[in-house]
């Protein structure tokens, strides 16, 4: 199969900064039914000690997916996007993603395994502010089904 196993350990350059906006947080929170007012009401967020409204726990996927895309579209990696299934996702938040943050992600391919003709790829996106403050570590495992 075309998939390139030598990608284990590869790290990509930082992504362009993602500007976290209040309205995007509101839109995402509404879409997942997260009705904690800390996502939409600055007064509530500040009373709880945050600088501004904060994102729901899985919002980081928006930024992490931008990181992952670098690898998925890398022609050298040989990935057929249409055969890709999301297997696992994990977030470790160093602090909540907050409106006003500008976040860059650095993608590392942690492991590439072949299981029964399919490839299992685990990638890790280290998200931090442009000032270098760690915000979130997002780990994602995808399964790429092999052709027949």
Which residues sit at the interface with another protein, rule CB under 8 A? 24, 27-28, 30-39, 44, 47-48, 50, 54, 56-58, 61-62, 65, 85-93, 96, 139
Output Rg (C-alpha) for the chain, integer angstroms: 17
Contacts of 136 (CB under 8 A, 6+ apart): 60, 64, 91, 92, 93, 94, 97, 127
Task: Tell me how far, at minimum, the Cβ of 6 lies from another protein, in Å.
Answer: 26
Task: Tell me how far, at minimum, the Cβ of 76 lies from another protein, in Å.
Answer: 23
**Adjacent-strand bridge partners of 19:** 102
CB-nearer residue toward another protein: 6 or 81: 81
CB-nearer residue toward another protein: 76 or 90: 90
Q: What does residue 125 show for φ and ψ, rounded to 5 degrees? A: -110, 120
**Count of alpha carbons within 13 angstroms of residue 107, beta-carbon side:** 24
Task: Tell me how far, at minimum, the Cβ of 50 lies from another protein, in Å.
Answer: 6
CB-nearer residue toward another protein: 4 or 83: 83
């Amino acid at each position: 199969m075309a998939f390139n196993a030598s990608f284990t350990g590869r790290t990509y350059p930082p992504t362009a900064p993602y500007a976290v906006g209040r309205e995007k947080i509101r839109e995402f929170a509404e879409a997942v039914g997260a009705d904690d007012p800390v996502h939409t009401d600055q007064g509530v967020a500040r009373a709880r000690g945050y600088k501004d409204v904060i994102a729901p726990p899985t919002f980081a996927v928006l930024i992490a997916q931008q990181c992952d895309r670098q690898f998925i579209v890398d022609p050298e990696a040989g990935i057929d996007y249409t055969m890709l299934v999301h297997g696992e996702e994990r977030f470790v938040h160093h602090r909540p993603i907050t409106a006003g943050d500008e976040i860059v992600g650095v993608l590392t391919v942690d492991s590439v395994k072949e299981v029964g003709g399919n490839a299992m790829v685990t990638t890790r996106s280290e998200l931090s502010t442009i000032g270098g403050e760690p915000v979130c570590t997002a780990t994602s495992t995808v399964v790429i089904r092999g052709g027949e």
